[in-house]
């Protein structure tokens, strides 16, 4: 078994945490001054580990092994949500760094090539998955010109302020990069609830994000009898109950749906709402189930419109994302490593969250490994994972990496 250095691993994770530390969490938004400080530190750590590392033209930190390929690429992200945890993304990047060091320190594995990446803006401060999309060759120039953060700062201006304009952008090399591994915290409570230590990801779920507008008639809340009201808000609330019932008939244990925002027009105590907007998201690992949910939603909308009191129109809030299946052979390598190091303490599971792996999987075989999140909490300052699970996760990822690299060389 490949030996990692647990103290070094944890020290690097803790030091990365200091960049943007806010209470128990971290605020490190993409291309902020603290994010760039963290990226410069990370590039230096990669160089110390014997990788040739630099920050590319969109902000991705990329450390390239000096060994010839074929290479395993390990990565995730180090930017955070506005109220971020210290391990979301960061864990996978530091795992990659530690695995690269451990391989170099072992006589039997020092010839293997592992490249390590911290992709920029996975969290979408400006444009989600910017780094991995740029890496695989997607045209991100429109985003660079037009994307803005919450404060209205243009992405291009942020890159200029960071001194990255004109810097080359790292690109995938399919003659070198034969597989991608992304270790990550689970960001949910399934592993903890099942008493498991490692998750082998089967699929990254597909997502639908929709806006439903209910249109009725604005009217006086005191003088309009209930029998003749065309209340868009009441219609929206009733629709949610009918939608829940329809979705539950279709769903399996991993299907989720969320009404994340409701807006009433005009939003006054004394006015019957004339319009109401509902922002809906649902996720599933099955493309067929997602289509069935879309069909059920369309049928409910037809029923409401046929009833006549209010009208409903549905539009995409964001383009649909299809489920992405992780490579079966790579899953098997992770499962073998997990069984060797933590027999019976692992399970296969979908990822309910999006990750850079879903972008890269369309270009090279990709896989993911999860470690438990305490209380199932992520995207919050209290996000955490037990140190024993962090170390075990890195040990499993390291052995899986050896398994994958040996398979490449066979």
pLDDT of the chain, 410 residues: tens digit per residue: 899 999 999 999 999 999 999 999 999 999 999 999 999 999 999 999 999 999 999 999 999 999 998 999 999 999 999 999 999 999 999 999 999 999 999 999 999 999 999 999 999 999 999 999 999 999 999 999 999 999 999 999 999 999 999 999 999 999 999 999 999 999 999 999 999 999 999 999 999 999 999 999 999 999 999 999 999 999 999 999 999 999 999 999 999 999 999 999 999 999 999 999 999 999 999 999 999 999 999 999 999 999 999 999 999 999 999 999 999 999 999 999 999 999 999 999 999 999 999 999 999 999 999 999 999 999 999 999 999 999 999 999 999 999 999 998 76
Same domain, 339 and 379: yes
pTM over 0.75? The answer is yes
**Which residue(s) pair with 179 in the sheet?**
72
- What are the Cα distances from residue 254, in Å, to 9, 159, 185, 187, 329? 32, 39, 17, 14, 23
Residue 276: give its domain's CATH number: 3.30.70.360
Last residue of a domain, one of 303, 321, 339: 321
3 state SS of 373: coil
Same domain, 33 and 159: yes
Could you identify the residue written with the tokens 């489920």? Answer: 323
pLDDT of residue 1: 85
Same domain, 109 and 238: no
Classify residue 182: in a domain, yes or no.
Answer: yes
Classify residue 1: in a domain, yes or no.
Answer: no
Tally of domains within the chain: 2
Cα–Cα dist 410/393, whole Å: 26
Classify residue 234: in a domain, yes or no.
Answer: yes
Annotated binding-site residues read 77, 88, 123, 184, 379
Classify residue 222: in a domain, yes or no.
Answer: yes
Q: Cβ–Cβ contacts within 10 Å for residue 246, how many?
A: 17
Same domain, 144 and 261: no
Same domain, 60 and 196: yes
Same domain, 34 and 122: yes
- What are the Cα distances from residue 400, in Å, to 2, 276, 341, 360, 369? 10, 50, 11, 19, 10
| Structural domain harbouring 253 | 206-321
- What are the Cα distances from residue 372, in Å, to 25, 98, 260? 17, 19, 25
Residue among 113, 115, 138 at smallest CA distance from 127: 138
Same domain, 86 and 193: yes
Annotated binding-site residues for Zn(2+) read 77, 88, 123, 184, 379
Residue 110: give its domain's CATH number: 3.40.630.10
Same domain, 198 and 347: yes
Same domain, 293 and 335: no
Query: Tell me: the pLDDT tens digits for 225-255?
Result: 999 999 999 999 999 999 999 999 999 999 9
**Which residue(s) pair with 54 in the sheet?**
62
């Amino acid at each position: 078994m490949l030996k990692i250095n647990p103290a070094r691993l944890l020290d690097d994770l803790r030091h990365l945490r200091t960049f943007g530390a806010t209470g128990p969490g971290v605020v490190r938004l993409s291309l902020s001054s603290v994010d760039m400080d963290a990226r410069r530190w990370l590039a230096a750590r990669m160089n110390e580990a014997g990788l040739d590392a630099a920050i590319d033209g969109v902000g991705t930190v990329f450390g390239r092994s000096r060994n010839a390929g074929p290479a395993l690429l390990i990565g995730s992200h180090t930017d955070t949500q506005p109220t971020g945890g210290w391990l979301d993304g960061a864990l996978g990047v530091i795992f990659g760094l530690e695995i690269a060091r451990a391989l170099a320190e072992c006589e039997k594995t020092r010839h293997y090539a592992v490249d390590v990446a911290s992709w920029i803006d996975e969290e979408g401060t400006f444009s989600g998955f910017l780094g991995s999309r740029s890496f695989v060759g997607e045209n991100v120039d429109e985003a660079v010109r037009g994307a803005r953060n919450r404060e209205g700062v243009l992405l291009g201006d942020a890159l200029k302020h960071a001194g990255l304009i004109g810097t080359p952008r790292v690109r995938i090399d399919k003659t070198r990069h034969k597989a991608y591994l992304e270790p990550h915290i689970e960001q949910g409570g399934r592993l903890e609830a099942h008493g498991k230590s490692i998750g082998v990801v089967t699929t990254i779920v597909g997502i639908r994000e929709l806006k439903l507008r209910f249109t009725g008639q604005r009217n006086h809340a005191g003088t309009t009898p209930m029998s003749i009201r065309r209340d868009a808000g009441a219609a929206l609330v009733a629709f949610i109950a009918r939608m829940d019932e329809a979705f539950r008939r279709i769903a399996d244990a991993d299907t989720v749906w969320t009404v994340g925002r409701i807006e009433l027009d005009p939003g006054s105590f004394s006015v019957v709402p004339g319009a109401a907007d509902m922002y809906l998201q649902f996720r599933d690992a099955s493309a067929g189930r997602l289509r069935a949910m879309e069909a059920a939603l369309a049928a409910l909308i037809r029923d409401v419109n046929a009833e006549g009191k209010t009208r409903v129109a549905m539009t995409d809030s964001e383009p649909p994302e299809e489920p992405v299946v992780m490579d079966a052979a790579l899953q098997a390598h992770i499962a073998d490593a997990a069984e060797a190091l933590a027999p019976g303490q692992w399970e296969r599971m979908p990822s309910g969250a999006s990750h850079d792996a879903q972008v890269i999987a369309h270009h090279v075989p990709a896989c993911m490994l999860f470690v438990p999140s305490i209380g199932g909490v992520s995207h919050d300052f209290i996000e955490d994972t037990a140190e024993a699970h962090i170390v075990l996760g890195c040990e499993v990822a390291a052995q899986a990496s050896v398994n994958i690299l040996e398979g490449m060389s066979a």
